[in-house]
Structure 1
C-alpha cells in the first residue's frame, strides 16, 4: 500500500513538472514533431497567408511571360499547327485546369498584372490608374520590370493602336498606371538578346497577327519559336522561367486556357490543380517576397516545385 502511494505521488509530481514546463517542450522539441497546440489552433486558410504558401525555390533570376490571345486549352493542346507550343507543354509544367478570369481581353491583362481588373470591363482605353501593381512592387523591393510589346512605335508610347504595326494598347496593362515610369514600356526590339541582362520580370506581348487575335495558330506558334525558343533553352540552365499563357479562351463560359511554365526545379508534366491568372501572379509575388495584390491573396497556389521552402 505504501509503495502504491509513493508511486502515485511520483506520477503526480512528474505531471505537475511537465505542465509547468510546457513552454520548454514546445520550444525545444524536434521541429518535425506535431505540437498538440497546433492541432487545437484555429485553422487558417493556406491561400490567405504568404507563410502557408506552396513551397518555392529560394531564388529565380528572370521570368519572361508571353501572353497569347483568345484560344481555349482544347484548341491548342495536341494541335498539329502548334508544334512548338505543344513541345513546351510536354517538356514543362502544363497547367491542365487553368482559367482566365473574365471576358473580354483587357480586364484579364489587368488581373494578371495587378490582381484586379481595376474596374475595367471592356477593351476601351481606360482612365489612368494609380493602384499597386506587379511592376511597382518589384521596383519597391529592388527588382526590375520590363514590358515588351511587338509593334510599339517607341518607348513610352500611350496611344491606343498602331495600325501599321498592329500594336494594341488593350494588351499592355502597365501603360495605364501613372505610378510607373514610361521607360518600362518598351518595343520588343529592346528585348535583350543577352538574357542575363533582362529585367527580373518581363512581359512579352506579340502584335495582333502573332498572338492569335487576328493571325492563325500556326503563325503564332512560328513567331513564338522564332522569338522565344532560345530563351526557353536557356532558362532551365540559368535559374529562370518562361511562362506562356493566354488572356482568355474563345468566349466560352468556362474560360479554360492553356498555360505552360518552363524552368528549373519544376515538377514537369501535367499539373491538375485548379489555377487562374491570380495564381500565376501570386507565384511571382511569393518568389520575390512581394505584397500579395488584390485577388492573388486568395488564389489557389501552384504546387509545382521540386525544392524550396
Structure 2
C-alpha cells in the first residue's frame, strides 16, 4: 500500500509538472504572438481617382507603364471593385460611405451628411479636395469645359466649406503643407474619361510621382484608384497604395471604395461611417 501511494504521488507530481510545462509553453506562445496589425497613423494621405477603365486595361498594359511601375513599388490589389455605375455614386461612396441614393451624374446637394471631411474637421484635422480645370476655388457649378462636378464628391456636401474646394493648381509643391487628407480629381481628359489611357498615365507621373516618392520617407501615403470599370457587372478596378510603411506586393483580398474609406478613417482613429462601418480596415499591407 505504501509503495502504491508513492507511485500515485509520483504520477500526480509528474502530471502537475507536465501541466506546468504545458501551461508555461502556452503562455510563452501567447506572449510571442504579434499584435494585430493596425493602419499606420499617417501624416498625409492623398487619394487620386481615375475614370472608367477595366482592371485589365491598366494592369500590365504597355499603355500604362507608370501605373504599373508605381504599383510595383507598393501594394497592388488584384481584386478591387467599384461600388456601382455610373460615375458619381462611386465618388460619393468613397467620400461618405454610401451613395445616399444617388444613381445618376446629375448635380447633387446632399446637405450635411457625414463624410470623411466632416469627420476630420471634428477632430481638428484637415481635408482639401483638389480638382483640375475647375474654373475657380470654391466653384459649385456643374460643368465647365473639361471640369465636371460629378467627379468632385466633396462639393455636394454642405458641411465641407468652400475653402476646402480648390483647383489642382493649388496643390502644394511643399508636401508638408498638404492637408491631412487630400482627394485629387484630374479633369475629363487627364482622368481618361474622354482621353486615352496613356494620357492619364503621363498625367499621374508628371503630377504625383514626386509626392509618391516623398511619401515613402515622410510617413505619408498615396492611394491611386478608379471610380468604376467600363460599365460591366464585374466592376473590377485598378487600385494601389504607395508610401511609408507599405509592404510591396500583390494582394488578393476583395476590397472596394468602402474598404479604402474605412482604412483612411482608421489612420486617424475615426470610426467607420455608413457602409464603411461594416468593413474592416486594410491591415495586411503594412510593414
| 277 and 128 in structure 1: CA distance in 2 versus 1, 3 angstrom threshold | closer
What corresponds to 1:55 in structure 2? 38
Pairwise CA RMSD: 2.6
In structure 2, C-alpha distance between the alignment counterparts of 1:294 and 1:128, rounded to whole Å? 14
What corresponds to 2:30 in structure 1? 32
In structure 1, C-alpha distance between the alignment counterparts of 2:221 and 2:286, rounded to whole Å? 14
Greater Cα offset, 298-307 or 197-206: 298-307
Segments of 5+ residues of structure 1 without an aligned counterpart are 12-28, 35-51
Does structure 1 conserve the Cα–Cα contact (< 8 Å) formed by 2:52 and 2:230?
yes
1:112 to 82, 89, 94: 94
Q: Once the two structures are superposed, what CA deviation does each residue of 1:43-92 show, in whole Å capped at 9, x if it has no partner?
A: xxxxxxxxx985222x2111110100000110101111111111011111
What corresponds to 2:172 in structure 1? 192
Q: CA deviation at 1:265?
A: 1.4
- Number of residue equivalences: 274
Matches within 5 A, 1:88-167: 88-163=70-145, 166-167=146-147
Q: CA deviation at 1:31?
A: 9.6
In structure 2, C-alpha distance between the alignment counterparts of 1:143 and 1:32, rounded to whole Å? 37
What corresponds to 1:48 in structure 2? none
In structure 2, C-alpha distance between the alignment counterparts of 1:242 and 1:305, rounded to whole Å? 13
2:61 to 74, 79, 88: 79
Does structure 1 conserve the Cα–Cα contact (< 8 Å) formed by 2:75 and 2:285?
no
* 1:294 has 2:237 as partner: no
- Give the secondary structure class of the aligned counterpart of 2:45: strand
Does structure 2 conserve the Cα–Cα contact (< 8 Å) formed by 1:116 and 1:294?
yes
Q: CA deviation at 1:301?
A: 3.4
In structure 1, C-alpha distance between the alignment counterparts of 2:89 and 2:147, rounded to whole Å? 17
TM-score, scaled relative to structure 1 = 0.82
Q: CA deviation at 1:304?
A: 3.1
Does structure 2 conserve the Cα–Cα contact (< 8 Å) formed by 1:93 and 1:304?
no
Matches within 5 A, 1:181-260: 181-260=161-240
TM-score, scaled relative to structure 2 = 0.88
Q: CA deviation at 1:289?
A: 0.6
Does structure 1 conserve the Cα–Cα contact (< 8 Å) formed by 2:266 and 2:281?
no
Q: CA deviation at 1:133?
A: 0.3
Does structure 2 conserve the Cα–Cα contact (< 8 Å) formed by 1:110 and 1:173?
yes
